Amino acid sequence: MKTLSELIHTEDPGWELISEWIKEATNKLEILPKNKEEADNALYLTQVTTRSPMGAILHETGGILVDHGWIRILGSGHIKLNRTFRVLGSPRKKKCTIIL
């Protein structure tokens, strides 16, 4: 497995692309704040780099709520978005659709 420092890209971060998408969005967005420890842990467990949009969202946010929560983009976790990548296989989440 890669170390956390190997997964964090500061020279070409994916968050710059995500920031552009956020600026261009026409629907209401709520960027949920991250908990640094949870974000580091989520990035390490998924082994996705922050160069990718998925890794950037995971490491930089607790999640993103689009259009008042009709669309939820998973991040590292937040009280307003109680789903994270770690619970994707959870049997209690049968009525949700996950799109990667």
pLDDT in tens, 24-62: 999 999 999 999 999 999 999 999 999 999 999 999 999
Q: What is the mean pLDDT of residues 7-36?
A: 95
DSSP 33-94: PPPHHHHHHHHHHHT--TTSHHHHHHHH-SEEEETTTTEEEE-S-BTTB---GGGTT-GGGT
pLDDT at 93 over 70: no
Q: What is the mean pLDDT of the chain?
A: 86
- Sorting pLDDT into bands at 50, 70 and 90, what band is 87? very low
Instruction: Give percent above pLDDT 70 in the chain.
Output: 82
Instruction: Give percent above pLDDT 90 in the chain.
Output: 70
Record the pTM: 0.81
